Each structure stands twice: as C-alpha cells, then as structure tokens.
C-alpha cells in the first residue's frame, strides 16, 4: 500500500477540520454557513406582571435570516433569552409566539408574501433551563415563498404576560438583510 502524499494528507486534514468546525458551530453561525443572510437585534423587556424585589427584565435576542435559491426565498428565526432568576418555576407567560414572514423588499412598506406563527416558544420560555438562570433558545421552522426581486425575513415576538391585566404585546426586531 502506498503512503498518501503530503498534498493528499493536507487536503484530508483540512476537510476534516472544516467539518468539525461546522459540526460544533452555533445554530446562528450554522445558518450563515448554510448561505443565510442574518440580522441580530436585542431588547431588554420589563415583565409588566411582576413588581417584586427581584430584577425582572428579560434580555431577548432575535436573529432573522433569509436565503435565496432561484426565485425561492427561505426564512428562519432564532430566539435566545436570558430571563430573570425570579421566573424559575413560575408561569410568566399566558401565551407567546414568533411571527416569521417572508417579505418582498421595496420602497415604502415591505409587503408580506408569506408568514407563519410558531407557538412552541411559550413552553420553552416558561420552562427554561433547570440551573436557575432561566436562559434558553428557540428556533422556528422555515417559511418559504416564491419572490421575484429582493426579499428579506421579518418577524416579531408576541408575549402575553401573566398577571399584567392585558393580552398580547408585540415586540418588533430588525429584518434580515436583503437577498
């Protein structure tokens, strides 16, 4: 059996390292590595239903991503949060969802071509990690639309806080770059 040449060995090593770095990549960087164009924005949101002695802000980051393949535009959203300690073991949200949209990008308001509401985030927010930090994340499914011309992903987070006397409140996040 012949020994592999140095060039072949180097190529195999580089390929395995590239695969390892993608496998260990975060979901956000994995989306970008898959050809998505993303924009991340964050908000510190006060819990309007809590007025106790503990800090009560939720730091919520949303990454909206879009990718084009011919006339098809695929969009995804990734939500991460750092909730307050008081929230551990309590029901903070009566309802929560992420609205993800594929929009045609044009002057003025971008018209929504297709959108979907993802409701799985409520349970994740109310039952975040078990170590008391109340951190977590949620990735939506994909919304795909046929869009000619420039397009982008847009979205919003809708939260119905427990004990605040109101229904859903809407929090808007920055749209993805145009694709």
Residue 157 belongs to a domain with what CATH number?
2.60.40
DSSP result, 139-151: E---EEEE-SS-E
- 178 in a domain, yes or no? no
Query: Residue 17: what pLDDT?
Result: 35
Q: Is residue 139 domain-resident? A: yes
Residue 43 lies in a domain: yes
Q: Is residue 1 part of a domain?
A: no
pLDDT tens readout for residues 144-153: 999 999 999 9
pLDDT score for 122: 93
- End-to-end, the C-alpha distance of the chain in Å comes to 50
Look at residue 163 and tell me if it is in a domain.
Answer: yes
Please count the structural domains in the chain. Answer: 1
pLDDT at 20: 37
Q: From residue 67, give the alpha-carbon distance in Å to each of 35, 49, 102, 152, 153.
A: 6, 38, 10, 8, 9
State the DSSP H helix or E strand holding residue 115, giving kind and residue range, or none if neither.
strand 112-118
* Cα 47 versus chain centre, distance: 21
Is 2 within the bounds of a domain?
A: no
User: Phi/psi class of residue 118: alpha, beta or left (left: φ > 0; alpha: ψ in -120 to 50)?
Assistant: beta
What is the per-residue pLDDT for 131?
A: 58
For 141, the domain range is 32-172
- 8 lies in some domain: no
**Whether the predicted model's global pTM rises above the 0.75 cut:** yes
Distances (CA, A) of 79 to 47, 68, 107, 110, 156: 18, 21, 28, 22, 10
pLDDT in tens, 84-140: 877 666 788 999 999 999 999 998 889 999 999 999 999 999 887 655 567 899 999
pLDDT attached to residue 25: 46
Helix, strand counts (H, E) of the chain: 3, 9
| pLDDT digits 0-9 by tens, 13-53 | 333 333 433 344 455 566 776 899 999 999 999 999 888 78
Answer yes or no: is 6 within a domain.
Answer: no
Give residues with Cβ within 8 angstroms of 80, minimum separation 6.
60, 61, 63, 135, 136, 137, 138
Q: How confident is the model at residue 56 (pLDDT cuts 50, 70, 90)?
A: confident
Question: In which element (H, E) is residue 32 found?
Answer: helix 27-33
pLDDT at 14 (0 to 100): 36
Burial class of 16 by CB neighbour count within 10 A (0 to 12, 13 to 18, 19+): exposed
Q: What is the pLDDT of residue 168?
A: 97
Which tens digit of pLDDT belongs to each residue from 1-19? 434 433 333 333 333 333 4
Q: Record the tokens describing residue 105, joined without a space.
A: 């990008």
> Could you tell me how far CA 140 lies from the centroid of its own chain?
7
């Amino acid at each position: 059996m012949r020994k592999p040449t140095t060039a072949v060995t180097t190529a195999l090593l580089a390929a395995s390292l590239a695969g390892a770095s993608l496998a260990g990549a975060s979901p956000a960087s994995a989306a970008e590595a898959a050809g998505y164009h993303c924009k991340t924005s964050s908000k510190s949101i006060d819990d309007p239903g809590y007025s106790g002695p503990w800090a009560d802000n939720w730091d919520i980051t949303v990454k909206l991503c879009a990718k084009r393949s011919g006339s098809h535009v695929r969009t995804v959203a990734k939500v991460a949060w750092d909730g307050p300690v008081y929230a551990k073991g309590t029901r903070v949200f009566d309802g929560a969802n992420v609205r993800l949209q594929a929009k045609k990008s044009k002057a003025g308001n971008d018209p929504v071509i297709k959108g979907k509401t993802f409701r799985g985030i409520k349970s994740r927010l109310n039952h975040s990690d078990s170590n008391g930090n109340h951190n977590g994340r949620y990735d939506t499914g994909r919304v795909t639309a046929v869009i000619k011309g420039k397009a982008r992903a847009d979205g919003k987070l809708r939260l119905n806080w427990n004990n605040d006397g109101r229904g859903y409140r809407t929090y808007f996040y920055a749209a993805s770059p145009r694709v």
